[in-house]
Amino acid sequence: MPLTQLLAVLGISFELVMGMPTTTPPVYKSCGSPNVTGMQCVPYERCNEGLMVDGHFYPERSRTLLDERSCHYMEKCCKIENTLPRGTPAPHNATTDYLQCGWRLDSWYYLRPLGYKQQEAKFGEFPWLVAVYNVNGSYLCSGALITPFVVLTAAHCVQREALESLQLVAGEWDAAVQLEPLPHQTQPVAEVLVHPNYTQAPAAHNVALLFAGAGGFQLAPHVQTICLPPLHTVYNYTQCYVAGWRRSHFGANETLPKRWPLYALPRDQCASKLRLAILGRRYALNDTLICTGGDKGEFVCKDMGGVPLMCLLPGCDDRFVLAGLLARAARCDGPQLLGIYTNMMFYRRWIDQKLRERDLDIRQYMV
């Protein structure tokens, strides 16, 4: 008896025995109403409903009452006959390694949970944002992808963690589910390099390089690199953001990254505020720190961990550079917010040197 017939008699899948992917269709939740049947909740990218205009197909992305009542906010109540089978290429499925650092694609504006707030980042809004976890799956902090092999983060986030316990996740968004249009990517950490002059008290040189193992990350529309500021360049960082997840939000129904607008303070204001608030009247500001101001908020005043400070490149309305990394907790007890960040421009030579020593391409974060 042929093997396939024998396995059929025994009720065993031939694909399973041979290690091949099975073709079992996914089971979707039914939706609709007593008067509307034959519908199911599917990821947006799998619902082939929309309008054809001048030979171009425009998918339906608006939320309906049926969507809100029956489906997850990343799903659409779609007719069964309009559901694309698994394996059908979805939009934006190809890699986009042609993008230069600091750019992003705003293609998923429709993915917003009920009660969406402006302080919640959209899917793919900051495609260089990386979540750092330990072996227990506990979120530690956020970092920024500068090459497919290197993540920059705060040293205080990883200095006490064992190398084999660290894990990097790029392309993550809602950490509570796995329904995003494109899957996140997970890599182990092959090496941790904390700045040799890092100290906790006082906080200084709070920066670390995390080198991804297993071939690094695959660039994609939601996984991109951010630029580093060139040396000896004077920037007026008037439009910046911090973004990342909050530890206290993990375990909830939604675990979205937060975003918060900030601006960099001029050096004289930064020095005077640091003397007054933290470091005393004899403190002389050096080039290792950046101060930020902005509105106070729960995200920037509590439980932020290590997060990147991302600023628009002067002359560009949608290209970002990594201006800094959170050096110490923000001060929110005064009349104005005071954020303190490690100045990435100061560490540019150190970063370049360490990547060259490992034969890694530094052009991927050059403006």
Confidence of residue 10 (pLDDT cuts 50, 70, 90): very low
Mean confidence (pLDDT) of the chain? 80
Q: Do the domains spanning 129-226+349-365 and 240-346 agree at the CATH topology level?
A: yes
> Which pLDDT belongs to residue 353?
97
Name the least confident of 57-71, 133-147, 148-162, 336-350. 57-71
Positive or negative: CA dihedral 350, 353, 358, 360: positive
Ramachandran sector of residue 350 (left: φ over 0; alpha: ψ -120 to 50; beta: rest): alpha
> Residue 21: which pLDDT band, with cuts at 50, 70 and 90?
very low
Q: Residue 5's pLDDT band (boundaries 50, 70, 90)?
A: very low
Confidence class for position 171, pLDDT limits 50, 70, 90: very high
Q: What percent of the chain has pLDDT over 90?
A: 32
pLDDT of residue 185: 95
Q: Is the pLDDT of residue 9 over 50?
A: no
For residue 93, the model assigns a pLDDT of 41
pLDDT in tens, 40-50: 998 887 888 88
Which of the 8 DSSP states describes residue 334? S
Contact criterion met (CB below 8 Å) for 262 and 311: no
User: Mean pLDDT across the stretch 8-12?
Assistant: 39
pLDDT at 11 over 50: no
| CATH architecture designation of domain 240-346 | Beta Barrel (2.40)
The confidence band for 15, taking pLDDT boundaries of 50, 70 and 90, is very low
**CB contact set of 252 (below 8 Å; sequence gap of 6+):** 176
Q: What is the pTM of this model?
A: 0.77
pLDDT band at residue 6 using 50, 70 and 90 as cut-offs: very low
319 against 60, higher pLDDT? 319
Mean pLDDT on 47-56:
80
SS (H, E, C) 139-182: EEEEEEEEECCEEEECHHHHCCCCHHHCEEEECCCCCCCCCCCC
Q: What is the pLDDT of residue 101?
A: 94
Quote the CA–CA distance of 297 and 276 in Å, as a whole number.
22
Region 116-123: mean pLDDT is: 74
From the DSSP assignment, how many helices (H) and strands (E) are in the chain?
Answer: 7, 17
What confidence tens digit (pLDDT) does each residue in 291-341 have? 898 888 877 887 566 789 999 988 888 899 999 999 887 778 777 788 889
Closest CA to 126 of 204, 251, 241, 247: 241
As a whole number of angstroms, the distance between CA 230 and CA 358 comes to 21
| Structure-model confidence comparison of residues 155 and 214, the more confident one | 155
Q: How far is CA 288 from CA 246, 280, 284, in A?
A: 26, 17, 11
| Superfamily of chain region 129-226+349-365 | Trypsin-like serine proteases (2.40.10.10)
* Residue ranges of domains in the chain: 3-82, 129-226+349-365, 240-346
pLDDT attached to residue 113: 58
